[in-house]
Amino acid sequence: MDFQLSLESEGVGSAYPDQPLAATADDSVGNVMQLLRAQRTGSVLICEGEKLVGIVTERDALKAMSGDISITASVREIMSSPPATIASSATVGDAIRKMSEGGYRHLPIVDSEQKPKGVLAVHGIVHYLVDHFPETVYNQPPDPKSKNKEREGA
Amino acid sequence: MSSILCPYCEAENMEGTDECQACGEALTELSRHIPASSVEADLLRDRIERLWPKSPASVSPDTTVGEVLKLMVDKEIGCVMVVDRGRLVGIFSERDALMKINTDAPRLKDKPISQYMTADPVTLETNDKIAYGLHKMHVGGYRHIPILFEGKLAGVISIRDILRYLAERIAATSSRR
């Protein structure tokens, strides 16, 4: 399928969203940092009941590591709230535009009731591209500079 | 008549030529694949320098973890280059901080960054294709890749730079229609 057409017709679900990982605003910064590490992921969604109220990313964790914020503080202190989100009905093209314009690396995917359905990470977009352009991305010639300048032997 | 560019010496050759008329390298693999969309053609044509690699923040290997973390927060940067006597020896990213430092930061803040950096990172050259950069980021799961020019550290690109480039290419393609 034509790439441009795919971007404007395929839903955000095609760009490998991560399962949402949730915590509450009362959880401590330290707990959320360890959750990020244990799950090897870049963001935790902060929810009240089933509703999304904030997001904490690696960037926020860095502030706690540098000593700007205590790890015993509640994540309420460091979360981005309300977070930028993308509707589950949006297309991959919408997501690329939104991430690029806002500089977001993680976009929670929400339904019409603001319930989180997943998280779109920038790596998912890259994965999507590689799927669409496998020949372009994988058939890269070897580095010309690494070639022997002269044939081996006499 | 369309032409293909030899990836080895950059000479122009007629489409379908089996080997480069200038340097003799095989071009058969290249003849088979014709980009199906203009975004794809852009990815194959444009070089890393087109992303305007930023000047990287650099530290020496004996800089402390605490100093590096503070630098990353204050300058709002996602990674620092670790440079020893002019040579790139490692990279320390938000991901390294999360995986290796995390809540141990108070205990580790006086340790040298060389103990926690990712040593001998994957690098790209300014004249590598953007498609190649995309490949490296995908395979390695990297978000930042140091850029070298003639073997020396010249900049850094992030996955956001690629996303921005892509958004621009897509917008340009849509407006051409």
- The minimal CB distance from A144 to the residues B8, B35, B69 is found for B8
Whether residue A149 lies within 8 A of chain B, CB to CB, comes out as no
- Determine whether the interchain pair A37/B98 forms a contact, defined as Cβ–Cβ distance below 8 Å: yes
Question: How sure is the predictor about A154, in pLDDT bands with cuts at 50, 70 and 90?
Answer: very low
Contact B102 A61 (CB under 8 A): yes
Handedness of CA B152, B153, B159, B163 (dihedral sign): negative
Q: Confirm or reject contact between B124 and chain A (CB < 8 A).
A: no
Binned at pLDDT 50, 70 and 90, residue A73 comes out as very high
Among the four given CATH numbers 2.30.30.140, 3.10.580.10, 3.30.70.1450, 3.90.1010.10, the one describing domain A3-138: 3.10.580.10
pLDDT at B52: 85
**Structure tokens given for B66:** 């605490």
Does residue A7 have a pLDDT over 90?
no
Residue B159 phi, psi (nearest 5): -60, -25
- Chain A touched by B86 (CB under 8 Å): no
Q: Chain A residue with minimal CA distance to B124?
A: A143
Question: Does residue A142 have a pLDDT over 60?
Answer: no
Q: B66: which chain A residues are within 8 Å (Cβ-Cβ)?
A: 66-67
Q: Nearest residue of B to residue A33 by CA position?
A: B102
Residue B127 pLDDT > 70: yes
Domain boundaries, chain A: 3-138
Position A149 pLDDT exceeds 50: no
d(CA B18, CA B4): 11
Look at A66-70, A108-112, A149-153, B38-42 and tell me which has the smallest mean pLDDT.
Answer: A149-153
Nearest to B61 by CA among B39, B43, B41, B86: B86
pLDDT of B177 > 70? The answer is: no
Answer whether B157 touches A (CB < 8 Å).
no
Report the largest interatomic distance among the alpha carbons of chain A, rounded to a whole angstrom: 75
Partner residues linked to A109 by β-bridges? A86, A118
pTM: 0.81
The predicted-structure confidence for B68-93, as pLDDT tens digits, reads as follows 999 999 999 999 999 999 899 999 99
Q: Which residues of chain A from 27 to 66 reach within 8 Å of chain B, CB to CB?
A: 30, 33-34, 36-37, 40, 42, 58-59, 61-66
- Cα-trace Rg, chain B: 20
> Does residue A2 surpass a pLDDT of 60?
yes
Do A130 and A143 touch, CB atoms closer than 8 A? no
Residues of B in contact with A33 (CB under 8 A): 98, 102-103
